[in-house]
Structure 1
Amino acid sequence: LALLAEQSEAKVLISNHDTKFSRELYKNAKKTTELLVTRFISADGDKRKPVKELLVEY
């Protein structure tokens, strides 16, 4: 997906977990934004915490 986005003339936005792997994968993006997002997938609602997410623009 990253390669297709890089080759495309269209504006492409991709979001993914903020990990070393995803940062390497999207290193050629025009812009990278770090976000904190809340996940709603947890058996115990009290343990839900914000997680780091990347929003990359090609």
Structure 2
Amino acid sequence: MNSSGSKNCFLQAPAFRHGVHDRLHQQILRLQVATMQGRDLCPSVEEVQGWIKQAQMLMANG
């Protein structure tokens, strides 16, 4: 299996999909607070979900 196929399998795995939005959002929030000392510029969970969907579409098409 090529690397693109294995990435697609990973992105579609239930363990990856379950809670990934919240975990990624928490990591971004921690980074934002650590680097900018504030939460106000951190993207919302919905915005992170959109990024993940876009990445999945890119993986499927590329």
Whether these two folds match at TM > 0.5 is no
User: What is the TM-score normalised by the length of structure 2?
Assistant: 0.27
User: What is the TM-score normalised by the length of structure 1?
Assistant: 0.28
Higher helix share: 2
Bigger RCO (CA 8 Å, 6+ sep)? 1
